[in-house]
């Protein structure tokens, strides 16, 4: 009876993790959705915009180094709660900005505090779901960013039309405060639900010097360094691209962007489900994850043609394929961490990977595009985004070979 109850309760946990991840991304995309209007209000050009994005990315990258360790030490309940609370405060404070510098400062704080989301989410999934179900569970909560990108732009456009961009930031920051209250009273760890109070003391975290001796750690970090920039680029620059190159206004962007992320959600679920299906059919866990990642990586080169597509809606569909293939990849590479490392190391390894992904995002997706777009246009960036996943797959395949104890 208790086992049946716990099996149902884990889906409650997953819904909380999904909600946190969705709210996390609501706060990230407000800027990119409303940037055409914010540019006019605060006198921001493409280079200044890239600096604002870089402030977030830099602090997000550094935040991962601390977040993984903190989550492993405090546990998912307290660690996640603190992250949600602090990122909600940072998001709300965007509403007071009057200069690009102020926007950069609060964008940096948002990046620092939002870094706790994925280490806590992956650790929660590793605690509540077995090996066969982890990739699908990860794909479900990891669809939160795509859901945010579907629901967010139309809602943001409505709030912006009624109240302006400042109230739009404040509204989405407020959602996090509501989640903090729910989280505190609803979330429990598996040990608490089974009344194993004797195991209440936190396990010792695994030192970085031991994790950095493992090839699997580097495989994950390189994979994140090369592929996270693809997501960040399209998240930050697609609305700007549609506005400046395709002539879309905010209302048109609010229609186009959700189409991209609907495709991303569907392919993410397929990728997460299919690797679990392969495991259930007897395929070795790591081989199953890599197979789906390889198929996902193979889809990316063709998506570079989006930049030269004559029909803007063909470009939108190709970008949807790019983000869908990336989401499928992401569901499986995150699950590899839980598959390969013990629970007490999952937060730390996810944090190291997040640091690498943040660094890649900073260099490739936020700083570089501002200058490349200004002086060379969008073609070089779209081509680059098409080749990063195949390169990452080589690094993952070579370095991630075994499960560690």
What mean pLDDT is predicted for residues 47-61?
84
pLDDT given for residue 181 in this prediction: 92
Structural domain boundaries enclosing 101 = 2-188+204-399
Share of the chain above pLDDT 90, in %: 22
Residues 76 and 123 sit within 8 Å (Cβ to Cβ): yes
Assigned domain for 313 exists: yes
Task: Name the domain count of the chain.
Answer: 1
- Which one, of 181, 175, 189, 194, lies nearest residue 77 by Cα? 189
In terms of phi and psi (left: phi > 0; alpha: psi -120 to 50; beta: otherwise), the region of 203 is beta
What mean pLDDT is predicted for residues 14-26?
90
Q: How many angstroms separate the CA atoms of 126 and 83, rounded?
A: 19
Q: How many angstroms separate the CA atoms of 108 and 277, rounded?
A: 40
pLDDT digits (tens, 9 = 90+) for 260-286: 888 888 888 888 888 888 888 888 888
Assigned domain for 404 exists: no
Whether the per-residue pLDDT at 196 is higher than 80: the answer is: no
pLDDT digits (tens, 9 = 90+) for 371-396: 887 788 889 989 999 999 999 999 99
Domain with 267 in it: what CATH number?
A: 1.20.1250.20
Find the helix packing angle between 76-92 and 100-114, rounded to 10°.
170
pLDDT band at residue 334 using 50, 70 and 90 as cut-offs: confident
Whether the per-residue pLDDT at 199 is higher than 80: the answer is: no
Higher-pLDDT residue of 180 and 32 is 180
pLDDT given for residue 1 in this prediction: 41
pLDDT digits (tens, 9 = 90+) for 65-82: 788 778 877 878 888 899
User: The tokens 């990119």 sit on which residue?
Assistant: 32
Q: How many angstroms separate the CA atoms of 147 and 346, rounded?
A: 25
Assigned domain for 405 exists: no
For 62, the 3-state DSSP assignment is helix
Assigned domain for 199 exists: no
């Amino acid at each position: 009876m208790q086992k049946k109850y716990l099996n149902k309760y884990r889906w409650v946990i997953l819904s909380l993790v999904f909600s946190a991840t969705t709210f996390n991304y609501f706060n990230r995309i407000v800027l990119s959705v409303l940037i055409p209007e914010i540019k006019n209000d605060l006198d921001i050009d493409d280079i200044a915009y890239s600096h604002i994005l870089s402030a977030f990315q830099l602090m997000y990258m550094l935040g991962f180094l601390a977040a993984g360790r903190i989550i492993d030490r405090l546990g998912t309940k307290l660690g996640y709660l603190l992250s949600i609370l602090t990122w909600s405060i940072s998001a709300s404070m965007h509403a007071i900005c009057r200069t690009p510098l102020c926007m950069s400062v609060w964008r940096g704080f948002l990046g620092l505090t939002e870094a706790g989301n994925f280490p806590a989410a992956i650790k929660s999934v590793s605690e509540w779901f077995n090996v066969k179900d982890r990739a699908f569970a990860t794909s479900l909560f990891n669809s939160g960013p795509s859901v945010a990108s579907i629901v967010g732009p139309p809602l943001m456009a409505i709030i912006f039309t009624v109240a302006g961009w400042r109230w739009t930031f404040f509204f989405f920051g407020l959602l996090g405060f509501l989640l903090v209250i729910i989280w505190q009273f609803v979330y429990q760890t598996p040990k608490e639900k089974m009344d194993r109070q004797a195991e209440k003391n936190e396990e010792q975290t695994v030192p970085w010097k031991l994790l950095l001796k493992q090839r699997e750690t580097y495989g994950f970090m390189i994979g994140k360094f090369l592929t996270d920039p693809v997501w960040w680029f399209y998240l930050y620059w697609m609305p700007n691209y549609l506005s400046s190159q395709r002539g879309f206004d905010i209302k048109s962007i609010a229609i186009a962007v959700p189409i991209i992320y609907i495709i991303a959600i569907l392919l993410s679920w397929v990728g997460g489900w299919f690797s679990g299906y392969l495991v259930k059919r007897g395929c070795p866990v790591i081989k199953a994850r890599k197979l789906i990642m390889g198929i996902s990586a193979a889809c990316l080169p063709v998506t570079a043609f989006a930049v030269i597509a004559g029909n803007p809606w063909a470009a939108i569909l190709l970008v949807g394929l790019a983000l869908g293939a990336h989401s499928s990849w992401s569901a499986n590479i995150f699950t590899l961490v839980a598959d390969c490392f013990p629970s007490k190391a999952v937060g730390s390894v996810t944090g190291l990977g997040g640091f690498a992904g943040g660094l890649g995002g900073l260099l490739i997706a936020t700083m570089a595009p501002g200058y490349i777009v200004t002086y060379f246009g969008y073609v070089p960036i779209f081509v680059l985004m098409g080749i990063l996943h195949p390169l990452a797959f080589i690094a993952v395949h070579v370095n991630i070979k075994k499960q560690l104890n």
